[in-house]
Amino acid sequence: MKLVLIGAPAAGKGTQARKLIARYGLAYISTGDMLREEVAKKSELGLNVKSVMASGGLVSDEMIIAIVKERIKEDDCKNGFILDGFPRTVVQAKKLDELIGNIDKAIYINAPDEVMLERITARETCPKCGASYNKIAIPSKVAGICDVCGEKLEQRKDDTLEAGKARLKTFHDQSEPLVEYYNAQGYLFEVDGLKGADNIFNDIAGELGERA
Ligand code: ADP
Domain holding 83: CATH number? Answer: 3.40.50.300
What's the structural domain count of the chain?
1
Q: What is the pLDDT of residue 104?
A: 96
For residues 5 and 127, the model is more confident at 5
Any idea which of 58-62, 77-81, 134-138, 191-195 has the lowest mean pLDDT?
A: 134-138
What pLDDT, on the 0 to 100 scale, is given for residue 55? 93
- Answer yes or no: is 153 within a domain: no
Residue 202 lies in a domain: yes
Mean pLDDT of 41-46: 96
**Can you give the pTM of this predicted structure?**
0.92
Does the active-site annotation cover 23?
no
pLDDT band at 130 (very low <50, low <70, confident <90, very high): confident
Taking 60 as the threshold, does the pLDDT of residue 212 lie above it?
no
Is 130 within the bounds of a domain? no
The verdict on the CB of residue 35 being under 6 Å from ligand 1 is yes
Atom of ligand 1 nearest to the CA of 88: 23
Number of residues written out for the chain: 212
Report, in this order, helix, strand and coil percent for the chain, each rounded to 5: 50, 15, 35
Nearest of 121, 86, 73, 95 to residue 13 by alpha carbon: 86
- 17 Cα distance to chain centroid: 8
**Mean pLDDT calculated for residue range 22-48:** 95
Task: Please tell me the residue having the least CA distance from ligand 1 atom 23.
Answer: 86
Please tell me the distance between residue 58's alpha carbon and the centre of ligand 1 in angstroms. 6
Catalytic residue among 2, 18, 119, 156: 156
Residue 194 sits in which domain range? 2-112+166-208
> Within a domain: residue 161?
no
Q: Which atom of ligand 1 is nearest to the CA of 8?
A: 4
Under a CB-based contact definition with an 8 Å cutoff, are residues 31 and 60 in contact? no
Distance between CA atoms of residues 76 and 86, nearest Å = 18
Residue 211 is a catalytic residue: no
Question: CA 82, CA 26: separation in Å to the nearest integer?
Answer: 7
Query: Is the residue at 92 inside a domain?
Result: yes
Catalytic residue among 2, 18, 88, 119: 88
In a domain? residue 159:
no
Compute the Cα dihedral for 21, 24, 27, 32 and give only its sign: negative
Q: Which residue's alpha carbon is nearest to atom 6 within ligand 1?
A: 32
Is any atom of ligand 1 closer than 6 Å to the C-beta of 53?
yes
Which H helix or E strand runs over 34?
helix 31-41
Q: Tell how far the Cα of 111 is from the centroid of ligand 1, in angstroms.
A: 17
* Rounded CA separation 173/170 (Å): 5
Mean pLDDT of 43-68: 96
Out of 13, 18, 36, 95, the active site residue is: 13
**Max intra-chain CA distance, the chain:** 46
CB 88 near ligand 1, within 6 Å: yes
Position 5 pLDDT exceeds 80: yes
Q: What is the mean pLDDT of residues 166-186?
A: 97
Predicted pLDDT at 210? 74
Output the pLDDT for position 199: 96
147 domain-assigned: no
Residue 211 has pLDDT above 70, yes or no: no
Q: Flag whether 31 is in a domain.
A: yes
Percent pLDDT > 70 in the chain is 99
Q: What is the DSSP letter of 12?
A: S
| pLDDT score of 50 more than 60 | yes
At residue 137, does pLDDT exceed 90? no
